[in-house]
Amino acid sequence: MSLKNKGCYTAYTSINSKSPVAYCGPQKSYWLELQFVDENNNPVSGLNVKLEYQPLKEHSNPTPPPHPPAGITNDQGLVRFEQLYWVTVSVKVNGQQLADEMEKRPLGVQRNPNSQPVSNNALHREMRDKNWRSDVQKKTEAAGYTHHYVTIGELCDQLPHIEGWDGPEPPEFHFPPERSLKGTEIGREELDLRHVIEICPFRAWVLALHDTKDYDLANGLNLGIMANLVYSTEVKNSTIANFFRHKCQDLSTIPQFAEYPSYFHSLAVDVPFRERYLDPVYLNTGQGIDPEGDTRLFTVECGAHVLVAWCGTDSLLNALTDASFGPKKCLPEQAGTGNVHGGFLEAYQLAKLKFDKEFKTVKNLLAIGSKRLFICGHSLGGALALLYAAEMKDAHPVLYTYGMPRTFTRSAVQFLHSVTHYRHINDNDTVPQVPLEADMDNLLYQKLGPLGTKLGFNWLAVSISGLSVSLWQKQLELQLGIQLKKDPYWHHGNTVIFLQAQQYVVHYRKQNMPWIGGGGRTNPAPGIVSYRIPTNAKLYLVPSLNDECLKATGEHQAKFIQCLESTELEKTFPKNTNPDLNGLPTNPLSHSMAHRYLPYIHNQLLELANPSLRMSRKEARERFRLVVKNGRGAGHCNQDEVQRNERFLALQNMLPAALSRTQAKETGRNALLRFAAVTEEEVEL
């Protein structure tokens, strides 16, 4: 059997040939150089590489020649094969050796946008780019070599052992269907060349979470996404499972949670595949055998942490739970004394009873290993998350909540100092203002009788109407005799508030109204009227950063522009209650996690990850800053308001310190670069 190429003939003996020798003239041999590198262009040495000739489909006898001897890559990742036939080859590597080695290699910063699906969304720019090239590919092509980008499945000669993997098929991204275990093909026309094979590391995404008592913006975003993700109706569309099983294993882009019209990218770091997220456990008391109530949560673990997310109000049953705020005694395992919101406690105890096995599994994971516990929830989910954190306080959990109502009374809150808790409030959100900051175990239940003990006073009507909760509280104090007594409902944790700050400037204009007398600030002269124009900016305020600023030294201190006087700040942001800012009325429309809380957190992280990016929020804040600056000492501005806004802006300036833990390591810095590369400013309603 003979093969003809460019006027030359190559001969070899076929085991199926009738004659043991086939002579076809002078013989020409070919060579092939392969260089194996990772995404950072570091060589992969010591690989056992073999070539397999492919069947000769265009010939009557398709039997390929004997495979050439295997080779080992040197310290430059190079291996050379000589005396090759002019036949297409498949490049294969020892599967277990390759998987073990590529687990150790970190990802490159850039991700290939062309592997993402087309968005087909007019509101979200398309990320695909036909001209995109990796850094390795650019260098390879500049040197005149041929480039290949492959996953380990496209090189493995057999399926490696994957620790903890029990799926019927190997992980799809790393072992793409139709291409896995078949080798990487190099056509016969591409012999006599060097080929650089860029291998995607055998890694997975996990959320960047930091076990710190200080406020952390990465925690704020990632736990916020989880608090939103838990609302998914898992039985219908498996959104939670898809996020951890697929998006956290698809390395083409960082994991993303989409809730139209927003597309929230998480801040993720890459880890060895064996340290990936295992399958999440979704729990719903309203499903399965003997369904009861509607308490929902999920748990998930990876090599570094365990995450528990609690679902907020999403049904009529949840609303009745919210309204049932008659106080009950705290469980001994939660606090040594004090009371807790009765409806929340009942919902929590139901979940604890039905999912005792799953709760014990989490405790055992924390007891036997070094994994850290992170807990989150929005609204009712935040209250349930706090109840769970109180029970798990010996594990020193990190808890982030969003728009949560008051849950414990004052005496109980004082037992929860070991729980690191940051409580996010969006401006004048109604839910954090209820139940009332009053001693509810008192005259309210005497006045309302069975209705008071069964359901409490239904504050949902107040929430829907938008009536100021503070006004409502004062009215109850007058009519029912409720007073702030020995053990009122208190908030737990450190406040993080998204404040719509305002600075008013007084302007004057002439108006032909001679009957109006002059004098005073309102009407300075006949025919002159005054009016106030506000300038607004949404600010991200974390008062605890000022405490961190006061304690910081050396390099960490340099992250702060200035520290504020603590006593003045404590007046504005008192502990265990909501700040009274600008007398803003309550607004239930400020409560949405997906449309109010998450866009603001997401955009704030993007602003700090990409300081040069032009953003509407920065432009609005700069206009506000100039108005405040020009208002100092000016008669057309209220000086108390100016000083107050100056403190707010100083707090805003401290926010970069909330990314210090992410920026301290190369993995975190790379995560910020990837986030900034694909993320857009989401709409802040």
% of residues, the chain, pLDDT over 70: 79
What is the rounded average pLDDT for all residues in the chain?
A: 84
Which residue did the predictor score with more confidence, 261 or 410?
410
- Least confident range of 380-389, 478-487, 504-513, 553-562: 478-487
Q: Is the pLDDT of residue 115 over 90?
A: no
What is the CA angle 423-267-656, rounded to 5? 60
Which of 449, 441, 457, 399 has its CA nearest to residue 424? Answer: 399
Q: Is 583 among the domain residues? A: yes
Residues 174 and 211 in one domain: no
Cβ-in-10-Å burial (0-12, 13-18, 19+) of 577 comes to: middle
Dihedrals phi, psi of 248, to nearest 5 degrees: -80, 0
Both 177 and 86 in a single domain? yes
Average pLDDT in the 137-152 region?
Answer: 96
Q: In percent, how much of the chain has pLDDT > 90? A: 56
User: Rounded distance, CA 476 to CA 307, Å?
Assistant: 40
Question: SS3 helix, strand, coil % of the chain, rounded to 5?
Answer: 35, 20, 45
Span 55-79, pLDDT tens digits: 887 666 778 889 999 999 999 999 9
For residues 416 and 458, the model is more confident at 416
Q: What is the pLDDT of residue 153?
A: 96
DSSP element (H, E) containing 408: strand 408-409
Specify whether 118 is located in the same domain as 137.
yes
Read off φ and ψ for residue 370, nearest 5 degrees: -105, 15
- State whether 181 and 123 are in the same domain: yes
Highest mean pLDDT of the ranges 60-69, 211-220, 529-538: 211-220
Last residue of a domain, one of 144, 179, 201: 201
For position 2, what pLDDT does the model report?
43
Q: Do 196 and 226 share a domain, yes or no?
A: no
pLDDT band, residue 17 (cuts 50/70/90): very low
**What is the total count of domains within the chain?**
2
DSSP string, 162-213: -TT---SS--TTTS-TTTTTS-EEE-GGG-SSEEEEEEPPSEEEEE-----S
Tokens representing 186 are: 């190099």
∠ CA 627-534-617, nearest 5°, is 70
- Residues 659 and 523 grouped into a single domain: yes
Task: Report yes or no on 5 lying in a domain.
Answer: no
- Which among 142, 176, 201 is the end of a domain? 201
Distance CA 92, CA 68 (A): 12
Q: Is the peptide bond before 526 cis (omega within 30 degrees of 0)?
A: no
Maximum Cα interatomic distance, the chain, rounded to a whole number of Å: 123
603 vs 605: CA distance, rounded Å: 5
Best CA proximity match to 63, nearest among 55, 72, 51: 55
Closest of 73, 87, 81 to residue 14, by C-alpha: 87
Q: Domain range holding 131?
A: 25-201
| CB contact at 8 A, 149 and 36 | no
What is the chain's length?
685
Residues 71 and 217 reside in one and the same domain:
no
Query: In this structure, are 439 and 580 located in the same domain?
Result: yes
Look-up: residue for tokens 């085991």? Answer: 15
H-run or E-run covering 412: helix 410-413
- pLDDT tens digits for range 635-646: 677 788 888 899
Assigned domain for 12 exists: no
pLDDT > 80? residue 131: yes
Whole-number pLDDT of residue 238: 87
Quick one: 592 and 668 in the same domain?
yes
pLDDT average, residue stretch 599-626: 94
| Pairwise pLDDT comparison (122 vs 415), residue with the higher score | 415
Q: Which residues pair with 272 in a beta bridge?
A: 203
Residue 15, in any domain of the structure? no
Mean pLDDT of 225-253: 90
- How many CA atoms within 13 Å lie on the side-chain side of 27? 10
My answer on whether 104 and 212 are in the same domain is no
Give the Cα separation of 222 and 379 in Å (integer): 17
Question: Where residue 513 falls among pLDDT bands split at 50, 70, 90?
Answer: low
Beta partners for residue 11, in sequence order: 2
Peptide bond into 261 cis (omega under 30): yes
Q: Examine the domain organization and report whether 505 and 432 are in the same domain.
A: yes
Note whether 467 and 504 are same-domain residues. yes
Cα 480 from Cα 43, distance rounded (Å): 77
242-276 pLDDT, tens per residue? 999 999 999 999 999 987 777 899 999 999 999 99
* Domain membership flag for residue 312: yes
